[in-house]
Amino acid sequence: MARDPFPTRSLSDREFHEGVVTVSHSVRAEYRWDAGEAIGRYLDGLRAGRIMGRECRECGRVLVPPRMFCEQCFRPTDRWVEVPGTGTVNTYSVCYVTWDLRRLTVPELPAVIDLRSGGIMHKLGDVEPGDVHIGMSVEAVWKPAEDRQGSILDIAYWKPV
C-alpha cells in the first residue's frame, strides 16, 4: 500500500481528553533574579519616584531601560541622568483577553511610552480606549511613596497630560 505522503494522525478534542493516554507534569522551579547594576539603580530610582537613564557620550543616547554598557558603541556608559516622567504614546493596544485567551471584562491598555530618550513598555489609565492615540502626551502616575517597592509597578500607569 502506498504510504501517506503527508503522515500525521490528528486527534479530535474528544480523543485528546478522553480516548488516548496522556501523562501530565508541572515543572517545579522558582527563580530569584538579581536586578543587576543598571536595573538595580533604575528600580531604586522608581522607588524614589524618578526615572533614571544611562547616558552614552559616544552616541549621545540616554538609555532607558538603563544599561552599564552601550550595545551600539560597545563601551561603558558614562553617567546617570534623570529622565522626566512625561512622554508620548509610541504605540498602544486595547487588549480584551488574558494570556490564555480568556475574555477580560475591562480591557487593558498596554503601550510603548517614548520618553525624552529611550522608551519602555507600560500601561495607560484614566482614559477611554477610544480617546487614546499614537503621539498622545502622557505622564507617569506614581503609586503613593509608602507603597512603592522598587519595581516597574511603582508607576501605576500613564495618563494623558
99 binds another protein (CB under 8 A): yes
Q: Does 33 bind another protein (CB under 8 A)?
A: yes
- Interatomic CA distance for residues 128 and 100, integer angstroms: 25
* Residue closer to another protein, measured from CB, 123 or 139: 123
Nearer to another protein (CB atom), residue 25 or residue 105: 25
What cell was used for 129? 480606549
Q: Which stretch binds another protein (CB under 8 A): 15-23, 74-82, 136-144?
A: 15-23
- Candidates 150, 124, 128; CA nearest to 138 is 124
User: End-to-end CA distance of the chain, in Å?
Assistant: 72
Considering the complex, what minimum distance in angstroms separates the CB of residue 151 from another protein? 6
Q: Which is nearer to another protein, 118 or 138 (CB)?
A: 118
Among 98, 126, 145, 147, binds another protein (CB under 8 A): 98
3-state secondary structure of 150: coil
30 in contact with another protein (CB under 8 A): no
Query: Phi and psi dihedrals of 129, rounded to 5?
Result: -50, -40
**Pick from 90, 116, 139, 156: which binds another protein (CB under 8 A)?**
90
Of 31 and 131, CB closest to another protein: 31
Distance set, CA 132 to CA 38, 95, 104, 140, 158 (Å): 32, 13, 19, 15, 11
